[in-house]
Amino acid sequence: MSSYPDVMDKLVSLAKRRGFIFQSSEIYGGTGSVWDYGPLGVELKNNVKARWWQSMVRERDDVEGLDAAILMHPKVWEASGHVSGFSDPLVDCKACKARFRADKIQDAQCPRKPSKKPGEHTDCQLTEPRQFNLMFKTWMGPVEDSAAVVYLRPETAQGIFVNFLNVQQATRQKVPFGIAQIGKAFRNEITPGNFTFRTREFEQMEMQFFVDPQAPEGKQTDMEWFEYWKAQRMAWHLSLGLAPERLHFHQHSAQELAHYAKAAFDIEFDFGGSLGFQEIEGVHHRSDFDLSRHQEASGKKLEYTDQVANRRYTPYVVETSVGADRVTLAVIVNAYREEAVPGEQEGRTVLGFHPGLAPIKAGVFPLTKKDGQPEMADKLAVALRKKFPVFYDDAGAIGRRYRRQDEAGTPFGITIDPDSTANDDVTIRFRDDMGQIRVSTSKVADVIAKYLDADLATAESTKVPAA
């Protein structure tokens, strides 16, 4: 049990109310564990993905980008081991028709009596576990026979492995180097749930870093690269403003470690309540397993030639694999807070996002609908929208307008009052401490831009700057 509260139910309702996340096909009763991102959600998730791409691809000269297709040759999944081995043990209850993962039964509840585990109620009739493959199958072309079976990819990594030499030769990268991509993955999960934590359609951000299995004297070894990527990835999560005490590494035990893996750590985030610490990213040393398997199955060499040392070898791979949806959920959980407001009866709900991640950067509010204030506010909103997303709102009491933006995570409120039209200046209100400063209209964009670019390791990010 986490020391942080369980906020998931509150978030599901806030996310719907404010347009972050909706249940898929809701008017038909919803699709099981598939979610749609609304206007604020798509901005938030795009910002998470953009920060990953920026730090993993754009800021580096040793990682290249890729966007491989979801549908791949079916032999890819035979070679990778997914057809024979990508399965979970499934248990059915003949009494209540519920299904459970045999390896997670200790975490599950009996639907007839939630205080008991499946199997503990007198009515329970659990079957023996059977292996259930998590890949979604479909057919390529008009004939629905076994020869036409293709799969929706359950991970993006295989698109990188099969393109290893294409990318290396096109870019003339030398090992060590990496290939990164962001894309959809699909898993027919037996027990999805906890909002967007475990879904059947999700997005991954994966990077495979190819290293020399026998690095020469003076060069970084495979294990040193592994340690390097572990540290880099943890630093990235901190740079999103995730609280340091809610993050830790979980080292895979000998039982958890895949037979080909040399080492594996998960980065876990504390989601609060009974969910507690859960994996958001895996950093895995996969040895030469994947490239070797594809080499054998395809009959094509996937070796790297080191021309200086005159050596050919199959590189080892250090993989970093993170779920875009899961990190986005962590960002929302981390940002959520309810607090009392001095002098007010009603408290407020705040999503204290890092300004760089916030879906809307500023709300623009004319205090009243007269004396040229709406015109001035509209002109400012139009100008600011060229730089970042802005929300214009002229309806209702100003306090209520601030509250709505607090709940949407908008870090700045810009208010145009009677003095503004006379002096050409406005008030900027800071979301986190609700402090205000007065700045000339021409300076607003610069003041805000400083916060958006800041490398902040804290959610307490939008306080009035110290004088």
Binding mask 339-378 for ligand ATP (x = CB under 6 A): ----------------------------------------
Q: How far is the CB of 66 from ligand ATP (least distance, A)?
A: 17
Residue 420 tokens read as 């503004």
Task: Scan residues 277-336 and list those touching ligand ATP (CB under 6 A).
Answer: 279-282, 321-323, 325-326
Residues 170-199 contacting ligand ATP, CB under 6 A: 187, 189, 198-199
Residues 143-172 that bind ligand ATP (CB under 6 A): 155
Least Å distance, CB 20 to ligand ATP, is 16
Closest residue to ligand ATP in the complex (CB): 323
For residue 342, say if its preceding peptide bond is cis, omega within 30 degrees of 0: no
Give least dist CB 405 to ligand ATP, A: 29
Considering only residues 28 through 87, tell me which ones interact with ligand ATP, judged by CB under 6 A.
none
CB nearer ligand ATP, residue 173 or residue 181: 181
Question: Which of 283, 376 has the CB closer to ligand ATP?
Answer: 283
> Nearer to ligand ATP by C-beta: 237 or 326?
326
Query: In the complex with ligand ATP, which residue's Cβ is closer, 237 or 429?
Result: 237
CB of 157 to ligand ATP, least distance (A): 9
Tell me how far, at minimum, the Cβ of 304 lies from ligand ATP, in Å: 25
Q: At its nearest, how many Å lie between ligand ATP and the CB of residue 159?
A: 14
Q: Should residue 242 be labelled a site residue for ligand ATP when binding is judged by CB under 6 A?
A: no
- Between 281 and 393, CB nearer to ligand ATP: 281
CB of 155 to ligand ATP, least distance (A): 6
Using CB under 6 A as the binding criterion, the count of chain residues that bind ligand ATP stands at: 16
Using CB under 6 A, list all residues that contact ligand ATP. 155, 187, 189, 198-199, 202, 204, 279-282, 321-323, 325-326
